[in-house]
Structure 1
């Protein structure tokens, strides 16, 4: 497994675990009230920051565990990274459009923030899955 494939796995797992922790935290804070009344801002910021820190820490641990691993990226790694970014980018656009429409319709900030966060997570997950699949198989022919 290449260094870049390991990074894709790390980011995929951290994205899913971080978002799951966020959902559980906010649902728990709702305590029977409507979700829009649950305090979510701090949980959102902490899980995003925690996911970033966890990714960095996991990559450091990966480098310490296997210090002799090559970190050289070749053309294939760059193409796979670009492919993963293109695949995941769709959800960033979907999230932006959804947030814009929700704001124009006067939806609660809770839903707007959560749709944006969910789409960022889906972008990361879909991009990570695309990278891993391509590393395991081959680049799709267009």
Structure 2
């Protein structure tokens, strides 16, 4: 497995695990309160920071585990990365319509922020899945 594929797996796991943990945190506050009144900003910023930090740290750990492969990319890796980012861009572009519509409808900020966060998560996970499928099924 190339170092780029390892990084893709890391990002895929983080892209699912961190939002699920964030969702569990926010949903635990739902009983007995209006969702628009939930303090979501700090947990969301924490989730974003943890996701970024975990991606960096785990990529470094993976590079240290196999130093001779670290940073080595070939044409196949670059093409797979390009295709995954391309698909992720389109997912983000389409998914960003929902928060835009919510903002135009003057919906509570809670829902707009979460729709935007969901758009980012969907784009990241879709991009990673496209890359993993390309690595596994061949390019």
Aligned partners of 1:123 and 1:136: how far apart in 2? 20
Match of 2:16 in 1: 16
Q: In the alignment, what sits opposite 2:105?
A: 105
User: Mean Cα displacement is larger for which, 114-123 or 33-42?
Assistant: 33-42
The answer (yes or no) to whether the contact 1:30–1:39 under 8 Å persists in 2 is no
Q: Which residue of 1 aligns with 2:121?
A: 121
For 1:74 and 1:100, locate their aligned partners in 2 and report how far apart those are by CA, in whole Å: 39
If the length of structure 1 is used for normalisation, what is the TM-score? 0.92
Q: CA deviation at 1:70?
A: 4.5
Unmatched runs of 5 consecutive residues or more in structure 2: none
Q: Distance in 2 between matches of 1:2 and 1:64?
A: 13
Tell me the C-alpha RMSD between the 2 structures: 1.2
User: Which shifted more, 100-109 or 27-36?
Assistant: 27-36
| Unpaired stretches in structure 1, ≥5 consecutive residues | none
Matches of residues 1-142 of structure 1 in structure 2 within 5 Å? Answer: 1-139=1-139
- Aligned mates of 2:135, 2:68 — CA distance in 1: 21
Q: CA deviation at 1:64?
A: 1.6
Shift of the alpha carbon at 1:34? Answer: 2.4
Name segments (4+ residues, structure 1) moved above 4 Å.
none
- More moved, 82-91 vs 27-36: 27-36
